[in-house]
Amino acid sequence: MKKVILGSLTILALSMSFSCRDTVDKAKSATEEAGAALEEAGEDLKEAGKDLEEAGEGAIDAAKEASENAMEAAEGAAESVKEAGENTIDAAKKAGDDVKKAANDAADAAAKKANEIEKAVKN
């Protein structure tokens, strides 16, 4: 009977031993899988960070380009206003010269007529 009880206890101890090893193996496997999943999640987060950084750089570049385009447009507008002002001044000078010439021509014509009248009166 003693042998039967010792045999039963041995079988029970071996059964527990195999069960514990199986549990340890499963725990080790689960830990490795969890570590792999965490590593993959870290890689995904790293990639998302890179994508976010690239998007930020793209936004900065777009803002810089828009600013440069606005500056070029403002410079072009200023140049156009300056050119229009110069053209207006030139036109005003030409109009002044034309009025002066017309006034001189009118004065010359009046003087000539006055001379003609004076000669006619004297004769």
Residue 5 has pLDDT above 60, yes or no: yes
Assign 29 to helix, strand or coil. Answer: helix
- Report the pLDDT value the prediction gives residue 6, as an integer from 0 to 100: 62
Please state, in angstroms and rounded to a whole number, the distance separating the CA atoms of residues 83 and 96: 20
Confidence band for 16, pLDDT divided at 50, 70 and 90: low
Start-to-end CA distance of the chain, whole Å, equals 180
pLDDT of the residue at 25? 72
67-122 confidence digits (pLDDT tens): 888 888 888 888 888 888 888 888 888 888 888 888 888 888 888 877 877 777 77
pTM of the model: 0.41
The pLDDT value recorded for residue 87 is 86
**CA distance readout (Å), 81 to 19, 33, 53, 73, 75:** 92, 71, 42, 12, 10
DSSP state of 56: H
Asked whether the predicted pLDDT for residue 61 surpasses 60, the reply is: yes
Report pLDDT for 13: 59
pLDDT at 45 exceeding the cut of 80? yes
